[in-house]
Structure 1
């Protein structure tokens, strides 16, 4: 199998496009799509300048996705005086797992000479994920607790770092799985949260002055290509599943999507194309004609919430009560 562009040995066949790509051209293809997404999502504001640069905070976990995103953004904007990149890592408190991931984060940020901030559940919430899993007061999967806590800290510290954008490493498979889960569950209100009339889809909302616009520059890239990029570029990624990962339903959706993609190449891209339109329609239905919604402040921590107390604080309270 030869590369379509240069005739060298191909390392990948992308069935959804029919392309056969070698090491060099696979990496170039991934980089091109990430940079195109950055342009299409208008991440670099027109008024950004060396005198008033934008701050982009990257959620860096040490896994393949966030490491690849950080490397490509650094290669693209590392010398651009209009952009300051800051890596933000979250230590959840998982014995024998997160420490190794943070080692990968530190290796990468040192190599790139990138500012790196680390915060932990223990310092911020007084809980560790190992303890949360043991207590499990809400009888939920570990990922449900962790997702709430991680999102809260990413948003809080992105704001504290005066970020203009918060970037995460969600890939095409991640996004298609979430879209399908929301649709199968009939959760149109959750789908509506992924759209803002002025900024477009996928967590780039402006519900309150406290919310830092978020974007996912890897969302057009299949997971397999991200993993292959990390391997070919010899990046210090920690590719090990979390010991508490137990999202059985997401696993079923993942298996279904992989089978569908194998039999019908392009399924993931088609799902996301339809999901964008559905998110816009759902936002009009559940968040008003302009897609906006009213939020107040949590009585306990001050973060934005539609209720009296935010989801994070409710979970922390239930854990403390055990």
Structure 2
């Protein structure tokens, strides 16, 4: 099958648009959508100048999504003195997994000449995820612990670097899954947390990242296209799944969405379009109020509790 836009061989069929795309036009399409999202969400502040540039902190795990995002951002802003990119990799302490993804992240950052910081759960919390999974003091899935720890570190380091934006590599599939999970669970308050009028519905606000806006420039690109982009661009990527990944419910939602997308192309995009409107309504009714925030009596981070969730979990792990 030839590419819809030229006479080259197509490498992908985007059923939701009907387009067959060759390598060149697939890569151009992904890059165009990322840059369009940056414009639509107004990520470049009006005050950003060569004399006073913005700092964007990228969560660079070494997986396909964060690697593709980092590569496109570097290419986009390499000659733009208004934006400075910093990459942060978090080592959770998962034997035989994170070391390889760290290698991929380091190779990419070195090749792009981006400042790259590495932090670990060991240094920050005096624990490793392998130990957390074994002890499991709260009876939760591994992802529940890890999600809290990762958000905390991303927020802390975004603040310490004076970052103006915190960027993560969530793709269209990730966001549609989250939207559907929140809807099925009737979690209106969580929908509200995903909306910010300046950055769109997925500027996720949590206890600890209240003051550094989050953005997800890949959220319009399907996971399959992100993976293919990484392959075609020959980017250093660690493709293995985390051995502790046990989000069974999200897996069911993923399977449901893939099946619906195959039978009804465009389902993911439709979900996101509707979810944006729901998120706006939810934010008007349930939006977080800064006055509700206090300081964690242990670490001083912003929280609605006396002791933030990160401190609660780390203390529970160490108590076992």
| TM-score category (smaller protein) | over 0.9
Answer yes or no: is the 8 Å Cα contact 1:142–1:245 preserved in 2.
yes
Cα gap change, 1:217 to 1:52, in 2 (>3 Å): same
Structure 1 length-normalised TM: 0.96
2:309 corresponds to: 311
1:163 corresponds to: 163
| Unpaired runs of at least 5, structure 2 | none
Q: Per-residue deviation at 1:301? A: 1.0
1:246 corresponds to: 246
Cα gap change, 1:206 to 1:53, in 2 (>3 Å): farther
Q: Per-residue deviation at 1:183? A: 0.9
- Could you tell which deviates more after superposition, 130-139 or 209-218? 209-218
* Cα distance in 1 between the residues matched to 2:129 and 2:202: 27
Cα gap change, 1:88 to 1:46, in 2 (>3 Å): same
Answer yes or no: is the 8 Å Cα contact 2:208–2:303 preserved in 1.
no
Cα gap change, 1:185 to 1:208, in 2 (>3 Å): closer
* Cα distance in 2 between the residues matched to 1:236 and 1:173: 22
CA deviations 1:12-38 (Å, max 9, x no partner) are: 000000000000000000000000000
* Cα distance in 2 between the residues matched to 1:137 and 1:207: 22
1:38 corresponds to: 38
1:255 corresponds to: 255
Q: Per-residue deviation at 1:197? A: 3.9
Q: Give matches, 1:169-180, under 5 Å.
A: 169-180=169-180
How many pairs were matched up? 320
* Cα distance in 2 between the residues matched to 1:170 and 1:179: 13
* Cα distance in 1 between the residues matched to 2:210 and 2:73: 25
CA deviations 1:127-175 (Å, max 9, x no partner) are: 1000000000011110110001001000000110110100000000000
1:296 corresponds to: 294
After superposing on structure 2, the runs of 4+ consecutive aligned residues of structure 1 that deviate more than 4 Å are 204-210
* Cα distance in 2 between the residues matched to 1:218 and 1:271: 16
2:182 corresponds to: 182
Q: Give matches, 1:167-246, under 5 Å.
A: 167-203=167-203, 205=205, 211-246=211-246
Q: Per-residue deviation at 1:196? A: 2.5
* Cα distance in 1 between the residues matched to 2:12 and 2:209: 44
Structure 2 residue 264 is matched with structure 1 residue 264: yes
Structure 2 length-normalised TM: 0.97
* Cα distance in 2 between the residues matched to 1:84 and 1:68: 17
SS of match in other structure, 1:169 = coil
Cα gap change, 1:273 to 1:6, in 2 (>3 Å): same
